Chain A
């Protein structure tokens, strides 16, 4: 766990850079996390995915997997990989200030 300054406030990050408390999140925090992870600008398409992830997590307590994202977010899986290189579900969760998706069991 590390404390760091982001979006004008102090936030707590876990060992992999995910917010520990989803309620410390705001749009400036999102932009800063994105920037630190190779996404210089968050476009409207990015936001669509990030908001979908965050809303799903806050409603259900779990983040959707990449497959559910592809089916439900309105952004196809191929594009998800262009928007969030390498691991879209993981990276969108990070930018959205929610924990790493468990997805795998």
Chain B
């Protein structure tokens, strides 16, 4: 009898894990099953471009099952719950899946209904999110109708997927409104619960400078408590108000709903407490997690999931072979930050080392870190091809290690 491996979620993490494990084990050695509630795999980094007409929602969605290699079973149904004591997953269609190893890769869901008024009157009229294909497409329509006024971008609270996306949205809105000749009669404000525009100090400083240069307002330590769509008011818990004509919100994030129904699996927000070095869950030794579904202290981003996948595949193998786990995942993340006008920044960081200036990869590479360039923009566009053809099939990217490399990065006070 082979090992039974069940993977919950057919997004970035679930797909790349299934394909990596399928390559590692023959069909006699392991059965691999993937569960997802639908068959629509969204290239999420593409959502940012949809509101500006730079991408179309239908072009960034492909069938999930087509991304899975041969010999992987795909169950398209909701997950009811995981019974940790029984090593069993109960699916909504009545199927019961027994596992030797469970990989949780169900990502994060949006919870706009948790913010007072957010999904009330005004939702999808003058209040939108670009974090879903439908929202991004509707926002595209609204931006085309927009004729100047107050555009507010708001992060309700952390954690969110891709913490740089709201900043990128503000940068692109500046470019877009300029192209349409209405930038002069528009105000753009980014309202964030953080004490700066980004979570890491050095990158935050660089990005704040870019915001200032582009005339984008920044409202920090703003904890959004209520949205009044018809009145055009965004109100914080401590009573501050920001008026808007168009609100672009990044709603609260939570883990998948079945996590809450699965006793002992998740925390109060539905994320899975996970060892940051090995990616083994704290719930059970035979339960692992990667990507947005975990609580590990790094960005919720596709690059993180890719780097995690390499180490997690090795750890599933070690676990099933009775060997000690590899604890070397370091929180490595790598993100392009679109800044408008066909330019982008690149940042590369991990749990301990914040994004630093320099060159990537490893100092000899052509891409400048924390600095605008056209090459980084091309890199961001090329990433979409790499996503479907390298990340999801579970291939390593040549020259880019899963752990962060210090070569090519500069700290203040050190010779360049």
Interface membership of B157, Cβ < 8 A: yes
A89-105 interface mask toward B, CB cutoff 8 Å, 1 = contact, 0 = none?
00000000000001111
When the two chains form their complex, are residues A105 and B238 in contact, meaning their CB atoms are under 8 A apart? Answer: no
Q: B163, A66: Cβ atoms under 8 Å?
A: no
Chain A residue nearest to B114 (CB atoms) is A67
Q: Which residues of A contact B158 (CB under 8 A)?
A: 65, 103-105
Query: Do the beta carbons of A105 and B297 come within 8 Å of each other?
Result: yes
Interface residues in A, total, Cβ within 8 A: 17
Quick one: closest B residue to A81, CB to CB? B237
Cross-chain contact A67 with B199 (CB below 8 angstroms): no
Q: Is A78 part of the binding interface, using a Cβ–Cβ cutoff of 8 Å?
A: yes
**Which of A77, A80, A81, A104 contacts B199 (CB under 8 A)?**
A104
**What are the interface flags for B46-58 relative to A under an 8 Å C-beta threshold, 1 for contact and 0 otherwise?**
0000000000000
Across the interface, do A86 and B221 meet the contact criterion of CB distance under 8 Å?
A: yes
The answer to whether the Cβ of A26 comes within 8 Å of any Cβ in the partner chain is: no
Please name all residues of chain B whose beta carbon is closer than 8 Å to the beta carbon of A85 when the two chains form the complex.
Answer: 238
- Name the one of A71, A81, A86, A105 contacting B299, with C-beta atoms under 8 angstroms: A105
9 contacts between A and B (CB under 8 A): A65-B158, A67-B269, A71-B268, A77-B237, A85-B238, A87-B221, A103-B158, A105-B158, A105-B299
Is B223 at the interface (CB under 8 A from chain A)?
Answer: yes
Contacts of B298 in A (CB 8 A): 105
Query: Which 3 pairs across A and B sit closest by C-beta, in order of nearness?
Result: A81-B237, A104-B199, A71-B268
Asked if residues A105 and B199 are in contact (CB atoms below 8 Å), the reply is yes
A59-86 contacts to B (CB < 8 Å): 65-68, 71-72, 77-78, 80-81, 85-86
- Chain A, residue nearest B158 (CB): A104
User: Measured between alpha carbons, how far is A82 from B261 in the docked complex, in Å?
Assistant: 33
Q: Check A77–B225 contact: CB distance below 8 A.
A: yes
* Interfacial chain A residues near B194, Cβ < 8 Å: 104
In the complex, whether B148 has a CB less than 8 A from a CB of chain A is no
- Chain B residues, Cβ within 8 Å of A65: 157-158
Chain B residue nearest in CB terms to A79: B237
Q: Does B139 contact A (CB under 8 A)?
A: no
Taking A67-B252, A80-B237 as given, write out 10 further A-B residue pairs in contact, using a Cβ cutoff of 8 Å, ordered by the A residue number: A65-B158, A67-B269, A68-B268, A77-B225, A81-B223, A85-B238, A87-B221, A103-B158, A105-B163, A105-B299
Report Cα–Cα, A85/B79, bound state, in Å: 41
A102→B269 CA distance, assembly (Å): 16
Question: Does B232 make an interface contact (CB < 8 A)?
Answer: no
Q: Chain B contact residues (Cβ within 8 angstroms of A): what range?
A: 10 to 19
- Interface residues, chain B, CB within 8 Å of chain A? 157-159, 163, 193-194, 199, 221, 223, 225, 237-238, 252, 267-269, 297-299
**Chain B residue nearest in CB terms to A87:** B221
In the bound complex, how far is the Cα of B331 from the Cα of A102, in angstroms? 15
Q: Residues of B contacting A77 with CB < 8 Å?
A: 223, 225, 237
Q: Which residue of B lies closest to A77 (CB)?
A: B237
A45 to B238: give the CA distance in the assembly, Å: 18
Pick from A72, A81, A105: contact of B268, CB under 8 Å:
A72
A65 to B156, CA, bound (A): 13
Q: How far is it, in angstroms, between the C-alpha of A103 and the C-alpha of B118 when the chains are bound?
A: 23
CA distance A80 to B163 in the complex (A): 25
Chain B CB within 10 A, most for which of A67, A81, A85, A86: A67
Within the complex, the shortest CB–CB distance from B168 to chain A, in Å, comes to 17
Chain B residues whose C-beta falls within 8 Å of the C-beta of A103 in the assembled complex: 158
Closest-by-CB residue of A relative to B300 is A105
Contact check, B269 vs A68: say whether CB atoms are below 8 A apart.
yes
Residues of chain B within 8 A of A78, CB atoms compared = 225, 237
Min distance, Cβ A87 to any Cβ of chain B, angstroms: 6
Identify the interface centre among A80, A81, A102: most chain B CB within 10 Å of its CB: A81
Q: For residue A55, give the distance in angstroms from its CB to the closest CB of chain B.
A: 15
For A71, A103, A105, the residue with the greatest tally of chain B CB atoms inside 10 Å of its CB is A105
Cα(A67)–Cα(B269), bound, Å: 8
CA distance A81 to B240 in the complex (A): 12
A86: chain B residues within 8 A (beta carbon): 221, 238
Alpha-carbon distance A81/B299, docked complex (angstroms): 27
Residue on A with the closest CB to B236? Answer: A81
Q: How far is the CB of A63 from chain B (nearest CB, A)?
A: 12
Check B223–A66 contact: CB distance below 8 A: yes
Q: How far is the CA of A81 from the CA of B222 in the complex (A)?
A: 12
A66 to B221, CA, bound (A): 12
Complex CA–CA separation, A85 to B158 (angstroms): 19
